[in-house]
Amino acid sequence: MSTRKDTIFGWILQQLPSFLLRSLLALALLGLLYWQLASREQWASGDFWSRAWAGATSWWYLAAVVVLLPLNWGVEVLKWLPLMRSAGSGISLRRAWAAVLAGATVSMFTPNRVGEYAGRLLWVDARHRAWAVVATLLGSLAQWGVLLAGGALALLYWYFAGKIAFAPLSAGLLALLLLAVGATVLVLYLRLTAVVDWLMRFGFWARRLATLRGQLAECAERARADGWVWAMAAARYAVYTAQYALMLMFWGLPLSALDLLSLVAIIYLLQTGLPLPPSTGLIARGNIALFVAAVLLPDAYASAVLSATFSLWCINVFLPAAAGAALLLLRLLRR
């Protein structure tokens, strides 16, 4: 009979490969980030972060970002809650908030926020868990669709405004890639039931999707009927894009509102394609932000872009995840 000590030791051994892989990935991303910074004159002269603080402007911008934080996650709650209630779950607004924040905590350690599903299930009754998975999946697909559309429009704006140059072949390949990814997201959202039926032809998926199929079809139909999910996805995209733009303004990036919003849309577009957990994604975000800044902006603004990226991560990702961790701890202590 195994002891508790043996169980804990076994769990540690099970998690060790994943931990080592994430650690190596984080080190590689840190190395890439350092390489990008080392090529900049301000970093070599030790003036990188002092330049960033010197460029900081009105604290009202930072205050506005913090004020928008509950709205950002509140819209996510409102995107998920109506679908859950349509299943007759009777989940309260307070419980939905706890589920979404718990999802933010668990997703810190999973690629592309997959942990959102597991975190939210902890606050859902067993008979409604399949529905919760479907509701979360539909919300994520709608969010990706809006983000892809915003990023594509931003690229078009920078291209036709002469702010960025693409070779004809590169521009065509990029357009085809965005169209292909966007079409995939739309097909998954609009024809999710058909996709599941196709997957159920394979023995591996048949057993796992059999209990999900009925609720998936009903939930998908209700989500498509009123367009609420897409409206909330667009609202949330507007909120966190505005937060990033405000943070860039706080750190002194002197661009027009349209240029700021389109710059943010391009950065988010590139970030979404990385299957990384937010815990290592912070470093990846810094790499992507520096890469975009090097292509689209003068070198002097690199410190402002990197500072805005890191500080926004602390507000929009770390703080909600910390709140979710506290809720998870309280829930465990009450059991």
Q: What is the pLDDT of residues 12-68, one digit of tens each?
A: 455 555 555 555 555 554 554 544 555 444 444 455 556 666 667 788 999 999 999
Phi, psi dihedral angles at 331 (to 5 degrees): -65, -40
**Number of C-beta neighbours around residue 100 at 10 A:** 24
pTM as predicted: 0.79
Residue 184 exposed, middle or buried by CB count within 10 Å (0-12, 13-18, 19+)? middle
Task: Mark residue 227 as left, alpha or beta (left: phi above 0; alpha: psi -120 to 50; beta: remaining).
Answer: left
Task: Write down the residue that tokens 């540690």 correspond to.
Answer: 12
Tokens at 20, concatenated: 């080592």
Tokens at 152, concatenated: 């594509």
Residues of the chain where predicted confidence (pLDDT) is lower than 50: 1-2, 4-6, 8-9, 11-12, 29, 32, 34-35, 39-45
| pLDDT digits 0-9 by tens, 226-250 | 678 889 999 999 999 999 999 999 9
Answer positive or negative: Cα dihedral of 130, 132, 135, 136.
negative
**Number of C-beta neighbours around residue 279 at 10 A:** 16
What's the CA angle centered on 202, arms 87 and 136, to 5 degrees?
30
